[in-house]
Structure 1
Amino acid sequence: MCTFKKTTSHRHDRYTIISLVMLAASPLAIEASHASPLALPSPLVFEAGPLGTLHAQGVASGYGIWQDKIFAGSGNPGNKHASTDISNGMLIIQKNAGLLQFYLQAGVYNVTTLGANYASTTAFTQHTFGALPVGYVEIAPTDSFNIQIGKLYTLIGAEYTYSYQNWNIERGLLWGQENAVNKGIQANYTTGPVTASLSWNDGFYSNRFNWVTGLLTWAVNKQNSVFFQGGGNLGQTDYAYATLATTPLQNNESIFDIGYTYSGDSLSITPYVQYTRVPASAIQALGAGTKTTRTFGAALLANYSLTDQFSLAGRVEYISNSGTVTDGAANLTGFGPGSHAWSLTATPTYQNGGFFARAELSYVTASSPSGYGFSGQTIDPASGSALGRTQLRGMVETGFMF
């Protein structure tokens, strides 16, 4: 799923929700706030002729993963008990002053999600948002209002697209119902303690512009805020434009999140609830069932700074999928119709200047109907039998930010 220059530049609007820094100097200041355990160093500032003053930053990191249960499919990292890859290899260049501004983020990246299969970094980059995952032009006539056009971060959710932006290395269960990047146009406005954004876009990167999303955040005071996010497909989309980004069922949903954030000197907490609905007409058109299907989820994210260099993040989640395996409901969560899933995640982090290292332990358990569990792909390599009820993962990630 922010605070930015002029409150909305680099639309990680979800950072507005967590950090409460309502007037950051630039998009990169988001990562420097205490809302994130990974603080990007100050940007390199340079003159670029007719483009004016530009800011540049970057991140280079890799990860290792171990899981007790594996996923089917040859040549896929998810079918191994252990694997390593690049998590972030990105360069960010932006112009954040004047009437006409821009933001460019280029490179390779990967996203791992609890209880779900995952691809190699090369495949993930190629089959999601490409080598320029985020890039937009911004027209900023005032400090309180701007319009952004291009490839934008979503307004939905309380977790962000890339691992270096998050308290945890992996994204959680609720992330699976949320989009990450979309193409479109977005208007952002701030007045006093209220920030509002409205976007017309292509939802789950479908290249069909029939989605509308919005975000409303009220900063009650310096430490407390409440937020509401919502959006949905105004029509129907029956295909996948990007094979890993355009999940067809979710691309036809309506989604709503509501939550609260406390952001203190050492402790930050964000509880929120999520509701989604996919209509029967879209489910039938996709051949995924016959009945309108819903999910309900709740999550609590927290981060505690032990010292200036050490922090500990935690996350607990619950998500349910309506229906049963016999009533025509769709499988929206990967755990099957009528399923319920829980997750626990703990992530200690160390950062010293531009260097960081962190470890993570996560556990997912699901009450799934027969034949489902972890997208129906979890297998015992010895017997070939399904084992999709629980999964334990350990991860490490380390790298440099500059």
Structure 2
Amino acid sequence: MLGFNEMAPPIADLLKFDINGIASGIGIVQNHAVNGDRSSRADASNGEVVIQKADGLIQYYLQVGAYSIPALGAPYVSSGNAVNQLYGPLPAGYIKIAPTQNFSLLAGNLPTLIGAEYTFTFENVNIERGLLWNQENAINRGVQANYTLGPVSASLSWNNGFYSKSYTWLTGSLAWAINSANTFSFVGGGNVGYSSFSNFATPVLLNNSQIYNIIYTYSNSPWIIQPYFQFTIVPHHPDLGVYKTTSTSGGAILASYALTDNFFRAGRLEGISSSGNASDGSANLLYGPGSEAWSISLTPTYQYKNFFARGEVSFVQAVQYTSGDV
């Protein structure tokens, strides 16, 4: 039997990994809660362990545990419901083959290429996800290829979209790092087939949509500023109740300013609108066909080493909404 030090290098390297943990709680108080939500609650927002090997030919990432997903203008998804009805106790987990510094292949439960916000609270400058994020997929199960050439990086993924049972989504991103502080990205993707599957994790209309982003990122301490534009479209699908092609368009500005090494101030301003009206066969992609919404969030944060505390105040306004859809 071979000992650890006698194993072939690729096999021995697999056992050299880092382990980190995230533990956080959340309390929410709100008025005018959307249908299906409560005016106040407390929950465990993260209780996860991350096992990661980020170098060598064979790499991997495993994120295991419980998580909640708070999002503006939508019912709160508690940690129990998120694990049981969304992505399970292993929401993100993949293997990565990196034969060169410029090229890699990934397979597994992958973070989406779509949008400017991440899925989990600890990954973002704001506690709650935004209105634009509500139109995007979050975790994809599939494969992804990455390639970089100088300041340009590209990714292409074949996956199951909104965590459906059909692998009919194709997404891609193209980013240009102008310099160390400025980056432009174009992201796009959509269902190249058709899927009628629907459950809590897979809203059937969004799973048959196309999504496009233009994202600009400025990162130069003490500022991080990220404006982006998003356009989504759901093609005409009578079998799904979409009798007229329907779209949403929106924009957002995310910003964070480091007051000191320990104090940060973050914010988000966004607006989104949907096409059509209640009588022309358009789908309900927001708060009724033809509805609009905007939001503003302010998130002061204090961090000391590995510990952090932050509060958030948000305001959401729906316009031209359909009664019962908000």
Aligned-partner SS, 1:128: helix
TM-score, normalised with respect to structure 1? 0.77
Alignment pair present for 1:267 and 2:220: no
Select 1:339's aligned residue among 280, 291, 312. Answer: 291
In structure 1, what is the equivalent of residue 252 of structure 2? 299
2:16 corresponds to which letter in structure 1? T
Q: Which moved more, 1:224-233 or 1:94-103?
A: 94-103
Alignment pair present for 1:285 and 2:239: yes
Q: Which moved more, 1:311-320 or 1:116-125?
A: 116-125
State how far apart, in whole Å, the 2-side matches of 1:101 and 1:267 are.
32
Aligned-partner SS, 1:117: coil
CA contact (8 A) 2:48 2:66 kept: yes
In structure 2, what is the equivalent of residue 223 of structure 1? 181
Equivalent residue runs for 1:382-401 within 5 Å:
388=326
CA contact (8 A) 1:183 1:207 kept: no
Deviation at 1:120, TM superposition (A): 2.3
CA contact (8 A) 2:21 2:48 kept: yes
1:217 corresponds to which letter in structure 2? A
CA contact (8 A) 1:62 1:87 kept: yes
State how far apart, in whole Å, the 1-side matches of 2:50 and 2:188 are.
28
Aligned-partner SS, 2:83: helix
Deviation at 1:371, TM superposition (A): 1.7
State how far apart, in whole Å, the 1-side matches of 2:226 and 2:308 are.
23
1:68 corresponds to which letter in structure 2? N
Aligned-pair RMSD on alpha carbons?
1.3
In structure 2, what is the equivalent of residue 354 of structure 1? 306
State how far apart, in whole Å, the 2-side matches of 1:205 and 1:280 are.
22
Select 1:63's aligned residue among 11, 23, 26. Answer: 26
Aligned-partner SS, 1:249: helix
State how far apart, in whole Å, the 2-side matches of 1:50 and 1:268 are.
36
1:352 corresponds to which letter in structure 2? Y
State how far apart, in whole Å, the 1-side matches of 2:26 and 2:202 are.
25
1:118 corresponds to which letter in structure 2? Y
State how far apart, in whole Å, the 1-side matches of 2:235 and 2:192 are.
11
Deviation at 1:97, TM superposition (A): 2.1
Q: Which runs of 4+ in 1 moved over 4 A?
A: none
CA contact (8 A) 1:124 1:244 kept: no
Equivalent residue runs for 1:73-88 within 5 Å:
73=36, 78=37, 80-88=38-46
* Deviations, residues 337-367 of structure 1 (Å, cap 9, x unaligned): 1111110000000000111100000001111
Aligned length: 316
Give percent identity, aligned residues only.
Answer: 51
Deviation at 1:370, TM superposition (A): 3.8
CA contact (8 A) 1:340 1:368 kept: yes
State how far apart, in whole Å, the 2-side matches of 1:82 and 1:322 are.
33
**CA shift in 2, pair 1:218/1:50, >3 Å:** closer
CA contact (8 A) 2:291 2:322 kept: no
State how far apart, in whole Å, the 1-side matches of 2:124 and 2:203 are.
22
Equivalent residue runs for 1:34-113 within 5 Å:
51-73=14-36, 78=37, 80-113=38-71
Gaps of 5+ in 2: 1-10
State how far apart, in whole Å, the 1-side matches of 2:124 and 2:245 are.
33
**CA shift in 2, pair 1:71/1:338, >3 Å:** closer
CA contact (8 A) 2:14 2:59 kept: no
CA contact (8 A) 2:69 2:78 kept: no
Q: Which moved more, 1:48-57 or 1:97-106?
A: 48-57
Aligned-partner SS, 1:274: strand
Gaps of 5+ in 1: 1-47, 377-387, 389-402
In structure 1, what is the equivalent of residue 271 of structure 2? 318
Equivalent residue runs for 1:113-152 within 5 Å:
113-152=71-110
Deviation at 1:210, TM superposition (A): 0.4
